[in-house]
């Protein structure tokens, strides 16, 4: 059984930074890509960043230049560095792992239909 556990969320003022982590256990095969998604009450879960099995990274435009997705070499931890946070970034953030294609475009990330999800970590940005 694969477990993804997010951490690093919290409350921060607008303009501040947070670094989210997603611990993967056990480690996944190299065929898996991963991504960060977020969700606010009453809205669908939306993707913000993705890294495919070859290391290709993509973002939605709303976070480009502010968020950075990285992964350690062993692919057991996924990170999301979030800078210049805005109130609209407030959401529950989830990491996901899948063997399906992972990619973000201007305002949309492919959402896996089969894969693994963490339980989420809350990010609250006050203006």
Reported as a single tens digit per residue, the pLDDT across 5-22 is: 999 999 999 999 999 999
Residue with tokens 């970590």: 121
Cα distance between residue 51 and residue 83, in whole Å = 19
- Work out whether strand 18-25 and strand 3-7 pair parallel, antiparallel, or are unpaired: antiparallel
- pLDDT tens-digit profile of 26-67? 999 999 999 999 999 999 999 999 999 999 999 999 999 999
Q: Is the pLDDT of residue 73 over 90?
A: no
Q: Which pLDDT score is estimated for 71?
A: 95
pLDDT for the residue 84: 98
Up-side HSE of residue 88: CA atoms within 13 Å toward CB?
5
What phi, psi does 88 have (nearest 5°)? -75, -5
pLDDT tens column, 76-125: 999 999 999 999 999 999 999 999 999 999 999 999 999 999 999 999 99
């Amino acid at each position: 059984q694969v477990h993804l556990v997010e951490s690093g969320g919290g409350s921060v003022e607008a303009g501040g930074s947070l670094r989210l982590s997603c611990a993967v256990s056990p480690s996944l095969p190299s065929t898996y890509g991963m991504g960060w998604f977020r969700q606010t009450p009453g809205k669908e879960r939306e993707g913000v960043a993705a890294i495919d099995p070859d290391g290709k990274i993509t973002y939605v435009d709303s976070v480009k230049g502010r968020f950075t997705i990285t992964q350690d070499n062993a692919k057991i931890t996924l990170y999301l560095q979030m800078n210049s946070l805005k109130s609209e970034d407030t959401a529950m953030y989830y990491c996901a792992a899948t063997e399906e294609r992972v990619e973000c475009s201007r305002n949309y990330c492919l959402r896996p239909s089969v894969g693994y999800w963490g339980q989420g970590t809350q990010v609250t940005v006050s203006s």
